[in-house]
Amino acid sequence: MQVDISGAPLTRPVLAALVAENYPVIAHELLRPILDLHSISREACGGDADKFIIMLVVAVRTTEDKRFSGYTQEQLLSGEVPVFPSLGTNVRSIADSIGVPRETVRRKVRELIAAGWIDREGDDLRFTALAYQRLANARIAIEHLAIRHFEVVTELIHKQALDEGATSQEL
C-alpha cells in the first residue's frame, strides 16, 4: 500500500478527499477522457448511447466470470471464443440496473442480437467476439481513461508530498 509523506496509508477515503479538494484544478483532466469515451461509444453504437450502456452491463457480467480473465486479448479479438463466458444477465436485470423501461431494453437487445453483438442463451445475454471487435475503440478509450485518471491522482499525491515536505522543512 502506498503511503503519503507522513507515512499515513493512501486509503480510498484519503484519496477521495484529495481528489475532491483539488477537483477544480483537475476537473478538465478527469472529464475529457469521459467525454471522449462517451463520444466514441455513442458512435460505435450508431448514435444510441443506451445501447452502449446495455453492452456495459453485459460486459460487466462477462468480466465477473473468472473464466474471462483466462483469455488473452489476442484470443478475444480473433474470434477464437465466439461467445464469451459470463455470469449472465437478462433484460429485466438490465432495465432495473440502468433505469430504462424494460420494453426499451428488450427492443435494443433484439437489435444487438440481430447485429451479432449479444448472444442469447435462454434468458441469459452474453457478450460476443464481434461486439468485442466492434467496440475496440471504446475499449481503448476506457484504457486511456484509466491511465489518465491514474496519472492525475498520482500527480496529486506527488504534489501533496512535495508540499508537505516543503512545509515540514520550513518548520
pLDDT value, residue 23: 97
Alpha-carbon distance of 102 to 106, in angstroms, equals 6
Instruction: Give the confidence band of 2 by pLDDT, cuts at 50, 70, 90.
Output: low
Q: Which CATH number is correct for 46-137, 3.40.50.970, 1.10.10.10, 3.10.580.10, 1.20.810.10?
A: 1.10.10.10
What is the gyration radius of the CA atoms in the chain, in angstroms? 20
Instruction: Give the confidence band of 6 by pLDDT, cuts at 50, 70, 90.
Output: low
- Asked which of 83-87, 103-107, 148-152, 163-167 is least confident by mean pLDDT, the reply is 163-167
Share of the chain above pLDDT 90, in %: 87
Distant-in-sequence, close-in-space partners of 133: CB < 8 Å, separation ≥ 6: 77, 79
Please give the DSSP secondary-structure letter assigned to residue 150.
Answer: H
Distant-in-sequence, close-in-space partners of 122: CB < 8 Å, separation ≥ 6: none
The residue ranking higher by pLDDT, 162 or 105, is 105
Q: Is the pTM of this model over 0.75?
A: yes
Q: Residue 84, class by beta-carbon neighbours within 10 Å (0-12 exposed, 13-18 middle, 19+ buried)?
A: buried
Instruction: Give the confidence band of 7 by pLDDT, cuts at 50, 70, 90.
Output: low
Alpha-carbon distance of 27 to 133, in angstroms, equals 31
**Per residue in 93-151, pLDDT tens?**
999 999 999 999 999 999 999 999 999 999 999 999 999 999 999 999 999 999 999 99
Longest dimension (CA), the chain: 68
3-state SS class at 71? coil
pLDDT of residue 171 exceeding 50, the answer is no
Average pLDDT, rounded, for the chain: 92
pLDDT value, residue 167: 53
> Which of 56, 79, 69 has its CA nearest to residue 125?
56
Alpha-carbon distance of 150 to 144, in angstroms, equals 10
How is residue 160 written as a grid cell? 501533496
